[in-house]
Amino acid sequence: MTLPAFPCTQCGQCCRNVHLAEQTQHLDRGDGACRHYSDADKHCLIYETRPDICRVDRQYQMHYAQRFSWEAFVEVNVKVCKLLQGQAQE
């Protein structure tokens, strides 16, 4: 099943805050950001081979498809994105 693309703004806030979620804490390089995130280039250094936890569509299919529609799942994730973006501006 091919899902519509997640509306990612590529702001990098999810990559800068891996310390916040238990599922991604193992990626923390020590400052809360993912060890694979490039601050200089503002992108993932292993994007093509990134772990499943970093793939929104894969997480949906593996853990949430039985409970939520794709649209509802995207809506919740977009809210988290906006929350992280807002906190970054403070």
Residue 46 lies in a domain: yes
How many distinct structural domains can be found in the chain?
1
Half-sphere exposure of 34 toward its Cβ, with a 13 Å CA cutoff? Answer: 22
DSSP 28: B
The CA distance from 12 to 86, in Å, is 13
Residue 2 lies in a domain: no
Residue 5 lies in a domain: no
Task: Report pTM.
Answer: 0.86
Average pLDDT over residues 20-34: 97
Residue 4 lies in a domain: no
Enclosing domain of residue 38: 13-89
Average pLDDT over residues 21-48: 96
Residue 2 pLDDT: 84
Average pLDDT over residues 28-42: 97
Q: How confident is the model at residue 90 (pLDDT cuts 50, 70, 90)?
A: confident
